[in-house]
Chain A
Amino acid sequence: DQQVKQNSPSLSVQEGRISILNCDYTNSMFDYFLWYKKYPAEGPTFLISISSIKDKNEDGRFTVFLNKSAKHLSLHIVPSQPGDSAVYFCAASFAGGTSYGKLTFGQGTILTVHP
């Protein structure tokens, strides 16, 4: 049961344009969402997060949007740079239960930014 899904395995964008990475989730209990970036041979690097009480959070070139009714979140990168080329994972967590703070990850989207 894939509770967090990234349906696009890959995305190719021109330098300077906008990159939009999408993520869908099925568990309405999720209340905190994160995006991580991963380069080969490295661990995931935290990018940006959003709480379920918000619908938007910005940090520099990165903006995350949350649509709770659609159970959908997206990461916008503007402008895209070649150094942004990496695998992007969305992740979700919720309070309560026996796995407090457990992150559930999507499968990842490979972003390639062409010069």
Chain B
Amino acid sequence: ETGVTQSPTHLIKTRGQQVTLRCSSQSGHNTVSWYQQALGQGPQFIFQYYREEENGRGNFPPRFSGLQFPNYSSELNVNALELDDSALYLCASSGGGTTSDTQYFGPGTRLTVL
């Protein structure tokens, strides 16, 4: 059974650029959630995708957008990058259906915005 994978591992961008981060969910999972973790903080919920539809969104501006594909993998897109977007971006997958479904995290993508 393959766990959650994310790519790339690290990324450096400049202010104003756009970035796409990718996530492959754990086998058998149909729900993907994205989180942003700033240094010294806990992860903050960005949004969740369930069966290719957005299923909830946290307090992030519209320049944060996402997609989920038929194989349940997912992308996080961030437009017009700002310095404060520098963070670890975590993807988590779960079976979906109930809130008691445990979310399993990937290793994260470290984004640095200069």
Size category of the B interface is: 20 to 34
Residue pair B33, A103 in contact (C-beta under 8 Å) = yes
A75 interfacial contact with B, CB 8 Å: no
Given the interface contacts A43-B90, A46-B104, A89-B42, does A95 sit within 8 Å of B58 by beta carbon?
Answer: no
Interface flags for B78-114 (1: CB within 8 Å of A; 0: not) read 0000000000001010101011111111111000000
Residues of A within 8 A of B57 (CB): 98-99
Q: Does A82 count as interface, using CB distance less than 8 angstroms?
A: no
Please give, as numbers and ranges, the residues of chain B lying within 8 Å of A42 by CB-CB distance: 107-108
Of listed B40, B90, B100, residue having the most chain A CB within 10 A = B100
Are B43 and A105 neighbours in the complex by a CB distance under 8 Å?
yes
- By a beta-carbon cutoff of 8 Å, the part of chain A in contact with chain B is 4, 6, 31-32, 34, 36, 41-46, 49, 51, 89, 91, 93-95, 97-108
Whether B74 sits at the interface, judged by CB under 8 Å, is no
Contacts of A107 in B (CB 8 A): 40-42
Specify the chain B residue showing the minimal Cβ separation from A93: B99
User: B48 contacts A106, CB within 8 Å?
Assistant: no
Q: Do B105 and A102 have beta carbons less than 8 Å apart? A: no
Check if A102 sits within 8 Å of B100, measured CB to CB.
Answer: no
Could you write out 20 A-B pairs with CB less than 8 Å apart? A41-B107, A43-B4, A43-B90, A43-B92, A43-B106, A43-B107, A49-B102, A51-B100, A99-B48, A99-B57, A99-B58, A101-B48, A101-B94, A102-B33, A103-B92, A104-B45, A105-B35, A105-B42, A107-B40, A107-B42
A41 to B44, CA, bound (A): 17
In B41-85, the 8 Å CB interface with A consists of 41-45, 48, 50, 55-58
Pick the 8 closest A-B CB pairs, nearest first: A105-B42, A99-B56, A43-B105, A102-B45, A95-B99, A44-B105, A43-B107, A93-B99
Q: Are A101 and B90 closer than 8 Å at their CB atoms?
A: no
